[in-house]
Amino acid sequence: MKRILVVDDEIGALTLIGIMLERGGFEVLKAHHANEALSILNQSGPPDMFILDVMMPDIDGIELCRMLRERGDTKETPIMILSARGDAKSVIQGMEAGATDYILKPIFHHNLVEKVHNLLNMGATAE
């Protein structure tokens, strides 16, 4: 079962995304902010994929994406940014930080699961 680390400071969004992914057959790790995500990463090793919100306190999702790309154990891991911020500047910043994909909230269950499967399969074919 593929593990996905979801990072979002909104409890409702974190819960909903977690439920959608679990129903899609994934193991879900949840973090409420970047430092918690890094702690989980250091304790349990890299997941198969990250899903990051942009707007979070302290370290935002764009900066967390950059940090993950700088680590040896996560530099190739797919990163989906899932955000309500859909302006061109935010999308460009996310992609320049190393995001594999940038998706706008809200997202329907089947769309999220399909996007995750596509990103994970993309990584599998590149190996």
Q: What is the pLDDT of residues 100-125, one digit of tens each?
A: 999 999 999 999 999 999 999 976 54
Phi-psi region of 72 (alpha: psi -120 to 50; beta: other; left: phi over 0): alpha
Residue-wise pLDDT tens digits, 77-102: 999 999 999 999 999 999 999 999 99
**Is the pLDDT assigned to residue 127 strictly greater than 70?**
no
Q: Which pLDDT does position 124 carry in this prediction?
A: 56
Around Cβ 24, how many Cβ atoms within 10 Å? 17
State the CB neighbour count (10 A cutoff) for residue 121: 11
The pLDDT value given to residue 122:
73
pLDDT in tens, 24-37: 999 999 999 999 99
Q: Is the pLDDT of residue 50 over 90?
A: yes
**Domains of the chain and CATH, by start:** 3-126 (3.40.50.2300)
